[in-house]
Amino acid sequence: MTSELDKMRAGDWYCSLDPEIDAIRMRVFDAVHRHNMALPSERGDIHPDLRALLPEVHETARIEGQFHLLYGNLKMAEGAFMNVGCVVLDAAQVEIGRNAMLGPQVQIYCPDHHRDPVKRGQLIERALPVTIGKDVWIGGGAILLPGVTIGDGAIVGAGSVVTKDVAPGARVAGNPARDLTQR
């Protein structure tokens, strides 16, 4: 029998209310809390307890405080930066490329809730990965929806809602985000 965690990791529909999933989430929540509550001079780029749960985050990556993360499915390459208040709902893999910069309050959503209201009420969801390329700039308050990829060198305007992939080098803004380089 396949566990709910196995289904989550495979990108299949799963129930997010599961003891095995809850245990992972609680371990990450505790480390994130320590990261957020530490004095910045003691925290460094990433609090040691949080860094221990994120083996695929480069030593030069930085996450500012008031950060939120669910499961630890986060990869950050060299020089990647998340400003204050970023929210990463990483039920699937979130990958942030080299020198990518995320402004304050950027939100990355991997969970995709079921369209059937009965199943949605039973907390049935699936998780789709989000990928951010190298040298990307995401403006403050932008929201990236499940399954999107932001191509290398792209710029996402502040407050934008990204509902589909962004081409490398593109500039997008708005709700939904639209390509400004085509105008």
How many other β-carbons are positioned within 10 Å of the β-carbon of residue 148? 22
d(CA 129, CA 140): 21
d(CA 10, CA 5): 9
One of 33, 58, 68, 113 is an active-site residue; which one? 113
Q: What is the DSSP letter of 114?
A: -
Q: What is the DSSP letter of 141?
A: T
Per the annotation, the verdict on 33 as an active-site residue is: no
d(CA 106, CA 95): 14
> Strand order in 171-173's β-sheet?
62-63, 81-82, 101-102, 137-138, 155-156, 171-173, 178-179
Tell how strand 178-179 and strand 171-173 pair up.
antiparallel
Amino acid symbol at 67: F
Q: Which residues are catalytic?
A: 113
